[in-house]
Amino acid sequence: MKFLGNMQEYLQLETINSDTCYVLKEKVESSLTVLWFIEDTNELIVDGKQHIFNKNQIVFLTEFHRVSAVKIDKIRLLRFNRPFYCVLDHDTEVGCKGILFFGASQLPIINIPPSELEKFEILWNMFSIEMKSDDSLQIEMLQMMLKRYLILCARVYKTQANYSDVIENSDIVREFNFLVEKHFRSKHTVKEYAELLFKSPKTLSNLFLKMGSKTPLQYIQERKMLEAKRLLCYSALHIKEIAFEIGFDDIQSFSRFFKKYEGVSPSEFKEDKLREKSLTQKE
């Protein structure tokens, strides 16, 4: 089911399976996608990396993620574009910027707790019913339900990511993640992001330490690595061009950086992925 508004608003609500998994590859400009797995053992390749998702896990994707299906049973897909609802402009309403979407290198995944499952089910059913409506209030109703859906997801994510330990500073962590997503090509040090947040590098490091997560520098470096691997896998750019694209002055520095984190050179990585793709196509 799709909602198409007069001002290019787009909302899609589907239950997809192995026969309709092509929907995962469809491109909608400025869109965000939420996938709710309702059966066990689903295998997807996201940005060249294989992931296994189980029943009642939810993953959050932007238009920049490259997704293909290896094995799926049933997935509830929710996709919307910026004209329908902009999570950046309405962050005070849903609080998902920097965690569910635009959160640097991590792939945001939540597990719906049994105590919250009924809420998700009811909301999905209400969504489905409202998608069939046809009156002047439909878009407002759909936007309201989308906000509720994102709020539920953000609450679960914050609980599972130990945000409770730094709840008074969780907005700083979210903003850091968003800023890394926005500036990773040009800003490469914790100090640069700390200045944007009017904090000290030590304050940022302590916040992430309380969460028991990676360091701020790891987030920065992993986002650069993610972009490098995306471009190596899915673009026709030469390695030198990719190095400049993500902020390196020369190919040698980029190659050292890449090999340090991936264990192989950029050229070896690209060759391996091309070989894997060729084998998959033959099968």
Q: What is the DSSP string of 80-124?
A: EETTT--TTTTHHHH--BTTTBS-TT---EEE--HHHHHHHHHHH
CATH homologous superfamily of 2-161: Regulatory protein AraC (2.60.120.280)
Per-position pLDDT tens, the chain of length 283 = 898 888 899 999 999 998 898 898 888 899 999 999 999 889 998 888 889 999 999 999 988 888 989 898 899 999 999 999 998 888 888 888 888 888 766 789 999 999 999 999 999 999 999 998 888 889 999 999 999 999 999 999 888 876 655 555 677 888 888 899 889 999 999 999 999 999 999 988 888 887 766 889 998 998 999 999 989 988 889 999 999 999 998 999 999 999 998 899 999 998 887 777 665 555 4
pTM: 0.82
> At 225, which helix (H) or strand (E)?
helix 216-234
| Domain 166-282 fold | Arc Repressor Mutant, subunit A (1.10.10)
Q: Which residues, 6 or more positions from 202, have their beta carbon under 8 angstroms from its beta carbon?
A: none
Distance CA 110, CA 195 (A): 31
Distance CA 200, CA 64 (A): 31
Using only C-alpha atoms, the chain has a radius of gyration, in whole angstroms, of 20
User: Would you kindly state where each structural domain of the chain is located, as residue ranges?
Assistant: 2-161, 166-282
Distance CA 63, CA 67 (A): 10
CA 94 from centroid of its chain's CA atoms: 16
Distance CA 12, CA 2 (A): 4
